[in-house]
Structure 1
Amino acid sequence: MGSTSAFSRRDLVKRTAALGLIAVPSMSVLTACATGGGSDDNSSADKGDQGKKSEKNPLGVKNGAPLDAFIFKGGLGDQYAKDAEADYKATYGAEVKHTGTQQVGPKLQPRFAGGNPPDVIDNSGADHLDMNKLSSQGQLLDLTPLLDAASPDDPKKKIRDILYPSAIEKGKHKDAFDVLYYAFTVYGTWYSQKLLSDKGWAYPKSFDDMIKLCEEIKKAGIAPWTYPGKYPYYVHFNIFPQIAKIGGLEKWIAIDNLEPNAWTSNDAVKQVIGHYEELAAKGYFLEGSQGLTHIQAQTSWTKGKAVFIPNGSWVENEATPTTPKDFGMAVGALFDGGSGDKMPHGTVRAEPSEPFIVAKAGKNPVGGMELLRIMLSKKHAQNFAQKVHSLTSNMQGAEGASLSPGLASAAKAVKDAGGNQNLLMIQLQEWYPKLTDEKMGGLTSQLLTGDLKAAEWIKKTQQYADETAKDSSVTKFHRSA
């Protein structure tokens, strides 16, 4: 598994709340409730345990101050964090206590409640902490000093200057930047470049091109598409940004914000859902896909039973055991709908993931920020890319690194997008997973088996969105255009 956020996404439908401790998680907005109180200031960042600030120590880490790091050990492992911790230890002559676990929430909820949390936390996985509650309780350190600190590679640049803008936007709770999303995930339609080359096929630019190619593929005795029918929300990784690409970001933001008629009044929704209805009607999905898990669907794909699969860039790491060495894993840009598209060809969904937080009540929160600064260096961004096949939120972090085929393709897709304005971030799945993964997931499952028409999918999706908007028990979020 290449993305811990994907891990939580897959498991959330199966997991239910247990005594209010672990609730349904989103991709990285987290859900294990912390009950301890917190202050409203950032005083814990300056508790008399700071050292002298300098060009090489812009945050003022105290020499010899030990660091307590708590890292989610999922598909990404935790060696990349250990490597950064080794540099922290060497630089500041300090001991680092490292804990790698898949149970962040259950192990840390009592520590937050008791006022003795670790300094820095990779808050990911299925059993993770509720960052919204931690932030509202004042338990998370405002990381603005980190943003304003000099980058490790160029003291003339601040950390905020090397991050993707979406990493800063996504890391905010209201006005406080208190979450650093370290990884950077590229979503889209994945394929084998070798298979396409061997067959003389080209990756389609448009929906029309895709339909034409699917007919050729089917005649060749291969299924054009597969998907994990057990987790149909994987298809939303493609559907949602495709709607934004064709209809424009402003109209997608209305969907993110649960505005009335946001689905039914958007012509792009009709076009995109109609396209998937056509794929199903013409039998372009691998038979039995509706019963496959993510691993089974990926295995069918890597074995050449299907040409295309919707996924995120973690798929390369996750599918390694079954991927032929010459497979040439690649990801393509979103498809053009027509001349009326609001966003250009090359637009791709690429956004931050893997959330790191610093506890305000930790014994060395300044050290926690410094570890994150070290991780954002080119050295450690490249180390991350090579170890786990993932980009980081450092925009130039992977430059010069030897990248695997899938990651090189993902990096190229980001570059070919032509600027950050064409890198889409989708918040709906992040904010309202019960809506997108359970309710809409059921509709998408029926759509792809041909049991539901596009018009009915759109009508019911709007109904579910309206119900979510009116449900006072659901925390609401707002995104500015």
Structure 2
Amino acid sequence: MGGPSEVSRRTLLTRAAALGALAVPGAALLDACATGGGSGNASSDKGTVTKDNPLGVKVDAPLDVVIFKGGFGDKYATDAEAAFKQKYPKATIKHTGTQTITQQLAPRFVGGNPPDLIDNSGAQQLDMNSLISKGQLTDLTPLLDAPSFDDPTKKVRDTLLPGSVEQGQYGGKEVYAMNYAQNVFGVWYSQAQLDKYQIKYPQTWADMITACETLKGKGIAGWTYAGKYPYYVHFAMYGMIAKIGGLDVMKSIDNLEPNAWKNPAVKTAVDAFAELAAKGYILQGSEGLTHIESQTAWNQGKAAFIPNGSWVENESKPTTPAGFNMAVGGPPSASAADKLPYGSTWSASGEPFIVPKQGKNALGGQELLRIMLSKAQSQNFAKLVSSLTCVAGAADGIQLPPGLTSANALLKAAGQGVSNPRLPDWYPDLEKKSLGQNTGLLMHKELSTADWITRAQAAADAVASNSAIKKFKHSS
């Protein structure tokens, strides 16, 4: 994501890495902008639909693009824009790279002049729930049903990895986001560091504790995390919850079902992270670190493990030493009773791109996405930022860096055991503020597991009972 979409992406997850304050100054503006709803695309400009222009883009219409310039940077986007410009030389393109999405764009929504395409990621991403419930976004179904850029006999949707289309749905058939990056979440580490101390990546939590104790004896912390954005811990915790209790546990949490957080699998997973804190296995001062600072400490060998997403390889590149040999492992097994085998983890498409209904060139925004979903642009993305896109097989035949190679291997090993929590992008405030802040207290030994669960359930219940918040449900 670049974060969860940072998670959420990356809000996750959004998936998707995030920068900026958790309290978003523009949130009120976003609500204000959404009150008008959307009765259709503001632009009346439409070109002629042809074989080479299946969406009917007006060839000389200006294009306004805003990209979250986080863990993935924005060169991949400017490269795609250059390809757009080559195809439509009469069009002018305004490009903005920023880490303050809501601060910059909420006023533009209020004024009725949003951009044509937005990479809505990072800690200050626009609230998808609010935008969708107020009718501010374009349904991308026509884009998905259009001929793909590389092969006109295939629809765009038929070139994507399984689950990519569903990731952009919010309780209905409409697709409001195209999640571009395929993120793999888990426990990241340096294979070179583990080799140095003759430690194998721990496949059980008991082995994790043993490894942390060994490292502690060497003056090295077992873990660090982004204390300023403690929801990063969830990149490992949520996968562990699903591994212990099965995929339906996380689905019930996403669905805001009563007592979902009181499932025994949640307690086991939260207990595990509380144990790291209780036994002094967390790098001192982690609670005050940003994601960049925690990644730097990890790169410097001060801590062995860090919960993160696959954007971390690119984002931490400036401080990653030669021979670090970055790798990722799935959440360790709690016991033989875990519902999913070792290797199961959280993976989802992230980095959500959205097309505002009131953009002056919404068709152009969709066409740029169609170009981005080509094999050439997908491979360019993989080479530039060490991450896959949602395009199936796009990176086949190209050399991948160690972290991405490891992420691909983990995803392959996970098989059907891939979880995809939707709570981070369905209810970002619940994820980042309520749950994230409580996880920060847990990791700093200021909150017990029992109190964490009580607070999590209370926060989820508050969202479930709030009629002003649109609700989403898993279809199965």
Under a length normalisation based on structure 1, what TM-score does the superposition of the two structures give?
Answer: 0.87
Q: 2:83 aligns with which of 87, 109, 131?
A: 87
Q: 2:187 aligns with which of 189, 193, 205?
A: 189
Q: 1:281 aligns with which of 278, 282, 285?
A: 278
SS of 2:29's partner is coil
Which residue number in structure 1 is paired with residue 63 of structure 2? 68
Q: 1:144–1:462: structure 2 CA closer, same or farther, 3 Å change rule?
A: same
Which residue number in structure 2 is paired with residue 28 of structure 1? none
Under a length normalisation based on structure 2, what TM-score does the superposition of the two structures give?
Answer: 0.87
Mean Cα deviation higher: 121-130 or 162-171: 121-130
Which residue number in structure 2 is paired with residue 20 of structure 1? 28
Work out whether 1:458 is the aligned partner of 2:453.
yes
Mean Cα deviation higher: 163-172 or 109-118: 109-118
SS of 1:165's partner is coil
Distance in 2 (alpha carbons) for counterparts of 1:211 and 1:391: 32
Q: 1:180 aligns with which of 161, 178, 190?
A: 178
Work out whether 1:161 is the aligned partner of 2:169.
no
Mean Cα deviation higher: 405-414 or 433-442: 433-442
Mapped contact 2:46–2:56 kept (Cα < 8 A): no
1:313-346: CA deviation from partner (whole Å, max 9, x where unpaired): 2222222222101111111122222332222322
Q: CA deviation at 1:60?
A: 3.9
Paired residue type of 1:164? L
Mapped contact 1:334–1:345 kept (Cα < 8 A): yes
Which residue number in structure 2 is paired with residue 215 of structure 1? 213
1:372-409: CA deviation from partner (whole Å, max 9, x where unpaired): 11101111011112222222111322222332222222
1:4-403 paired onto structure 2 within 5 Å: 6=6, 14-18=22-26, 20-22=28-30, 33-39=33-39, 49-54=46-51, 56-62=52-58, 64-75=59-70, 76-102=72-98, 103-109=100-106, 111-113=108-110, 115-173=112-170, 174-264=172-262, 266-403=263-400
Q: CA deviation at 1:424?
A: 1.8
SS of 2:353's partner is strand
Paired residue type of 1:170? Q
Mean Cα deviation higher: 280-289 or 196-205: 280-289
Number of equivalences: 465
Q: CA deviation at 1:219?
A: 2.6
Distance in 2 (alpha carbons) for counterparts of 1:238 and 1:108: 31
Q: Percent identity?
A: 50
Q: 5+ residue gaps in structure 2? A: 12-16
RMSD of Structure 2 on Structure 1 (CA): 2.9
Distance in 1 (alpha carbons) for counterparts of 2:88 and 2:275: 60
Q: CA deviation at 1:36?
A: 4.3
Q: CA deviation at 1:251?
A: 1.8
Distance in 1 (alpha carbons) for counterparts of 2:134 and 2:430: 26
Q: CA deviation at 1:68?
A: 0.7
Work out whether 1:446 is the aligned partner of 2:444.
no
Mean Cα deviation higher: 111-120 or 306-315: 111-120
1:220-270: CA deviation from partner (whole Å, max 9, x where unpaired): 332211222333222111111210121111121111122111121x22112
Q: 1:359–1:282: structure 2 CA closer, same or farther, 3 Å change rule?
A: closer
SS of 1:255's partner is helix
Q: 5+ residue gaps in structure 1? A: 23-30
Q: 1:14–1:454: structure 2 CA closer, same or farther, 3 Å change rule?
A: closer
Paired residue type of 2:88? Y
Mean Cα deviation higher: 317-326 or 334-343: 334-343
